[in-house]
Amino acid sequence: MKKAIKIHISGYVFTIDEDAYDKLNDWTQKISEQFKDEEGGAEIVSDIEARVAELFSEKMKDEETVITIEEVNEIISIMGMAEDFSEETTNGNSYETERIKFKKRLYRDDDNAFIGGVCGGLGNYFNVDAVYIRLAFVLLVLFGGFGPLIYLILWIITPKAKTAAQKLEMKGERVNVSNIEKTIKEEFESVRKNIIRQTKSDSYKNVSSGIEKLILLIFKIIKVVFKVILYFIAGMFIFFGAMFLIILLGLLFFGTIPHFASTSGDIFIFGTILEAIPISISGFWAQLGLIIVIGIPLITLIYAGIKIIFNFKTNNKIIGITATTLWFIGLFLSLSIGLNIAGNYKNDNQEIKSFNIDKTNSDTLYLESKIISEEYDEDSQMDLDNYLITKEKGKLKITGHPDFRIEQSYDKSTSLKLKYKSKGKSRRNALNNITQIEYNWSQKDSLITFDDIFKIKGEQKIYGQEVEMILYLPVGKSVYLSPSMEEIIFDIQNVQNMWDNNMTDKIWTMTKDGLSLYPNEKPEKDTESYDIDLD
């Protein structure tokens, strides 16, 4: 079923199919455009129309015979396309016009406008997709804030491409008939669609009163503001999504945070951590799991941003379902690996060794620490909680910080208690892990030297190994904490309530109330005498 239209062409009446009419109308418009700037152009067009009418009337027996698209095609082939006229219409100076190079001009592109068509126009001018220009503006907002200002200025100074010729100039296409035809066709289509849309919507009315106009204007402004905000959010999505994704991938594959995102000088080596903790399967799976669990939401964020900016409405369910499924697989993978790792820390055990250190000549013990951590290359080191992981020649060396504290001895003897602690899958495993701890200390008369770190031997991983030392000091006995002890002393209770880092380079005496700087409880008097100068 086809719709037929009655038309008048220079005094004749015809019945014509809708598609045939569209074609004929298109052709006539194209010709009108061709002659519109010429003297007597309207006359030429009407002459041509008259001839068309004549030709139709010869073909059609009466008004009721419907003109189909075949007849229109035939007439057009007789009359010729507008391009066929062009060579004759140029007024003798066609050589010159041919030679004039076509110049591109900056216009605002209303057909491709998000706000004012500035980006669309710039895109046409520089021959890039307007989306990238928009993105650049959004980024300008993020980094400097002068994006909107530039936009506003461009909006004001750039003219809008109105005529077909201007639109072609904007796109840098040559203003010739076939190009104008193309543009007009597009315009015609868009206008037609607009009209259909407008007439269909209920809100379409003859806007006559000023108030209604004002309301419409306000709506338009709100729409634009909303669009800008939406665009901004989309830009943020893409920006932060991409940034975190780069950080994530950088961590997993290159071991470090990309420099620009690094906030401190610390090198954070994810792969090394995976090597240092007990995982029964390859660290690759853990990395994969993390990529999926964190990466998919990030990609979704970027995707959402791009979707808003590019304004496409694909709702590909397969992608969504796949991504969601993949995410759950990743989550499952990560969780099972996490549980697997956690299983290695289920039980703990400890081994305690005690040493008597009564046989000293003086009543004061001198405690110092031997800094053996300096043996390790600091550049390939990382701190992980209480541990220090060093990678030397592809092999991991794990060391830990021991804790040292002083408590009151209740049996008048001085002793040192070493507690080796570790976790493991079972208590037996934990005990086995303890045997892998290597810690050295030594006593030379009243001088006791502690290593500043304990080593974890062989290929052993981190199982929460700890070394805890308690020096039991009877009342009346003193210790001197040399500055090097700062590395290992941990939360030593004292009468003065002094912090660990202030306790070194001082002599402490055990009193009934605990460790004190002033055993005679006369802190006002010559406090300085209790400080010993090592030199």
Partner 1 sequence: MDIENATAQMRKGVLEFSILSILSRNDAYASDIINELKSVNLIVVEGTLYPLLTRQKNYGLLSYRWEESVKGPPRKYYKITEDGSQFLAKLDESWEQLTKSVNKIRVTSKNAQKNETSDL
- Which one of 78, 142, 224, 532 is in contact with partner 1 (CB under 8 A)? 78
458 lies in the binding site for partner 1 (CB under 8 A): no
Minimum CB–partner distance for residue 61 and partner 1 (Å):
11
Stretch that binds partner 1, among 90-98, 160-168, 485-493, 500-508 (CB under 8 A): 90-98
Q: Which of 129, 33, 13 is nearest to 82 (CA)?
A: 33
Q: Which residue number, 112 or 178, has a Cβ lying nearer to partner 1?
A: 178
CB 453 within 8 A of CB 404: no
CB 117 within 8 A of CB 109: yes
Q: Got the DSSP string for 412-457?
A: S--EEEEEEEEEESSHHHHHHHHHTEE--EEEETTEEEEES-EEE-
Q: Give dist(CA 459, CA 202) in Å, integer.
A: 77
Count of CA atoms in the C-beta half-sphere (13 A) of 324: 6
Minimum CB–partner distance for residue 33 and partner 1 (Å):
14
Q: Which residue number, 95 or 410, has a Cβ lying nearer to partner 1?
A: 95
Stretch that binds partner 1, among 6-14, 148-156, 236-244, 392-400 (CB under 8 A): 6-14
37 lies in the binding site for partner 1 (CB under 8 A): no
CB 508 within 8 A of CB 406: yes
Stretch that binds partner 1, among 72-80, 136-144, 207-215, 339-347 (CB under 8 A): 72-80
Sheet holding 66-67, edge to edge: 4-9, 12-17, 66-67
43 lies in the binding site for partner 1 (CB under 8 A): yes
- Which one of 4, 7, 28, 51 is in contact with partner 1 (CB under 8 A)? 51
Q: Give dist(CA 182, CA 168) in Å, integer.
A: 10
Q: Which residue number, 75 or 437, has a Cβ lying nearer to partner 1?
A: 75
Environment class of 535 (CB within 10 Å of its CB; exposed 0-12, middle 13-18, buried 19+): exposed
Scan for tokens 């002599």, then name that residue: 507
CA 404 to chain CA centroid, nearest Å = 45
10 lies in the binding site for partner 1 (CB under 8 A): yes
Minimum CB–partner distance for residue 229 and partner 1 (Å):
53
Long-range contacts of 34-42 (CB under 8 A, 24+ apart): 34/82, 34/85, 34/86, 34/89, 34/177, 34/180, 35/89, 38/89
Minimum CB–partner distance for residue 37 and partner 1 (Å):
13
Instruction: List 321's β-bridge partners, or say none.
Output: none
- Which one of 59, 70, 80, 321 is in contact with partner 1 (CB under 8 A)? 80
Give the H/E segment covering residue 330.
Answer: helix 317-343
40 lies in the binding site for partner 1 (CB under 8 A): yes
Count of CA atoms in the C-beta half-sphere (13 A) of 181: 15
What is the rounded end-to-end Cα distance, in angstroms, of the chain?
112
SS3 state of residue 392: strand
- Which one of 37, 92, 317, 385 is in contact with partner 1 (CB under 8 A)? 92
Stretch that binds partner 1, among 45-53, 380-388, 392-400, 470-478 (CB under 8 A): 45-53
98 lies in the binding site for partner 1 (CB under 8 A): yes
Stretch that binds partner 1, among 15-23, 36-44, 347-355, 366-374 (CB under 8 A): 36-44
Q: Give the binding-site size for partner 1 (rule: CB under 8 A).
A: 32
Q: Which of 268, 487, 287 is nearest to 399 (CA)?
A: 487
Strands 66-67 and 12-17: parallel
Scan for tokens 């061709």, then name that residue: 34
Q: Give dist(CA 224, CA 114) in Å, integer.
A: 8
Q: What residues between 397 and 426 interact with partner 1 by CB under 8 A?
A: none
Q: Got the DSSP string for 98-117?
A: HHSPPPP---B-STT-SSSS
Q: Give dist(CA 307, CA 163) in Å, integer.
A: 31
Q: Which residue number, 73 or 449, has a Cβ lying nearer to partner 1?
A: 73
Scan for tokens 């070493």, then name that residue: 418
- Which one of 4, 7, 79, 357 is in contact with partner 1 (CB under 8 A)? 79
84 lies in the binding site for partner 1 (CB under 8 A): yes
Minimum CB–partner distance for residue 54 and partner 1 (Å):
7
User: 378 — phi, psi (to 5°)?
Assistant: -70, -25
CB 119 within 8 A of CB 139: no
Q: Which residue number, 46 or 350, has a Cβ lying nearer to partner 1?
A: 46
- Quick one: tokens of 90? 């140029």
Stretch that binds partner 1, among 83-91, 211-219, 272-280, 326-334 (CB under 8 A): 83-91
In the 8-state DSSP scheme, what is residue 40?
T
Stretch that binds partner 1, among 91-99, 131-139, 385-393, 414-422 (CB under 8 A): 91-99
Minimum CB–partner distance for residue 29 and partner 1 (Å):
14
11 lies in the binding site for partner 1 (CB under 8 A): yes
212 lies in the binding site for partner 1 (CB under 8 A): no
- Which one of 16, 53, 238, 245 is in contact with partner 1 (CB under 8 A)? 53
14 lies in the binding site for partner 1 (CB under 8 A): no
Stretch that binds partner 1, among 71-79, 306-314, 366-374, 478-486 (CB under 8 A): 71-79
Stretch that binds partner 1, among 78-86, 235-243, 266-274, 330-338 (CB under 8 A): 78-86
94 lies in the binding site for partner 1 (CB under 8 A): yes
Q: Which residue number, 89 or 300, has a Cβ lying nearer to partner 1?
A: 89
- Which one of 61, 64, 95, 528 is in contact with partner 1 (CB under 8 A)? 95
Can you give the binding site for partner 1, defined by CB under 8 A?
Answer: 10-12, 31, 35, 38-40, 43-44, 47-48, 50-51, 53-54, 57, 77-82, 84-85, 87-89, 92, 94-95, 98
